[in-house]
Amino acid sequence: MALPPAAAAQDLVPYNAGRKWGYAAPGGRLAIPARYDQAERFSEDLALVRSGASYGFIDTKGKKIVQFKYQSAGAFSEGCAPVKYRGLWGCLDKAGKAAVPFEYEELLPFKEGAAPAKKNGRWGLLLKGTGEFKDGAYEEIYPVSEGLARVRVNGKYGYIYVSGREALPPVYAEAFPFSGGFASARLGDKYGFISRGTLGFKEKPYIGIGPYSDGLAHAQSLAAEGRCGYIDAEGKEVLPFRFAMCAAFDEGLAPVLRDFKGGWGYIDKSGRTAIPFKYDQAAGFRGGLAKVALKGRTFYIDAKGIEYKK
């Protein structure tokens, strides 16, 4: 079925039709037939799909752009998609040609011109512009955010610049990506935030501080008997500690569990219910969509709570 010209990539939603996946246009009309075993969101006008055990990419009309022959793959980012072929990872351009050779044991998507990669047992950063691979003595390396990539060494976390130079030594028991100039972290038994501007750590009077995103981080307060709420980078309580479980805000909404007898739903930044509390699992929003699970089925919802499933 050809896709009408009115539907753009950002409008197409992976649609769960039971055993197969397709794509729906706004309003829920099926725009690309449900013939795939897995379907991911469109990224840079192409979508990662799986048929049987093999991955490939399609365009907004459902036309196969990258043939189904890859063992695993990630979405397009900065014009390149990491794919696994014959046991090794490389990267494809939008024409399906190799932009990065298949010589890596692991390869994550490019962000800010660099991709975490593993070669000969060593993690490092692969630079998009030059193709240079800067490795180091890391147990793992994570995607770049605001010019810094987290690294793990001996179970502790630190940060490096894209150049490979160390920005913060691996001394943190927990650390998250930078967002809006701050990163949540734990130093010993102290929770707080690292400033991107100063790279200094400031303790806050909370425990279990989660990722800082959309200007807020979820946290727990001992005074609230293990309940979670949301704080800003200064440590000010923004949303009361009244939820059983919390996850990060993305695109103005956060998945939360009000109590352990109910389901997951979404709140907005004022704390109001935005999407009903009924799901068994709920992920954060990205590109106006969130993946949820209910009664053994996984599907997507939009910010209005519309469910894209049969």
In a domain, 44, yes or no: yes
Contacts of 296 (CB under 8 A, 6+ apart): none
Report pLDDT for 7: 61
Q: Looking at the structure, do residues 101 and 122 belong to the same domain, yes or no? A: yes
In a domain, 274, yes or no: no
Domain count, the chain: 2
Report pLDDT for 28: 82
Report pLDDT for 226: 84
Q: Looking at the structure, do residues 76 and 60 belong to the same domain, yes or no? A: no
Q: Looking at the structure, do residues 5 and 98 belong to the same domain, yes or no? A: no
Q: Among residues 64, 93, 117, which one ends one of the domains?
A: 64
Q: Looking at the structure, do residues 77 and 151 belong to the same domain, yes or no? A: yes
How confident is the model over 22-80, as pLDDT tens digits?
A: 999 987 889 999 999 999 999 999 999 999 999 999 999 999 999 999 999 999 999 99
Q: Among residues 64, 86, 103, which one ends one of the domains?
A: 64
State which residues form the domain around 81.
Answer: 71-172
Q: Looking at the structure, do residues 85 and 58 belong to the same domain, yes or no? A: no
Report pLDDT for 4: 45
In a domain, 161, yes or no: yes
- Which residues of the chain fall short of a pLDDT of 50? 1-6
In a domain, 137, yes or no: yes
Report pLDDT for 224: 87
Report pLDDT for 299: 98
In a domain, 166, yes or no: yes
Report pLDDT for 225: 85
Q: Among residues 45, 64, 83, which one ends one of the domains?
A: 64
Instruction: Count Cβ atoms within 10 A of the Cβ of residue 86 and give its class: 0-12 exposed, 13-18 middle, 19 or more buried.
Output: exposed
Q: Looking at the structure, do residues 40 and 77 belong to the same domain, yes or no? A: no
In a domain, 34, yes or no: yes
Report pLDDT for 3: 41
Whole-angstrom Cα distance, residue 238 to residue 232?
Answer: 7
Q: Looking at the structure, do residues 146 and 84 belong to the same domain, yes or no? A: yes
In a domain, 192, yes or no: no
Q: Looking at the structure, do residues 89 and 40 belong to the same domain, yes or no? A: no
In a domain, 96, yes or no: yes
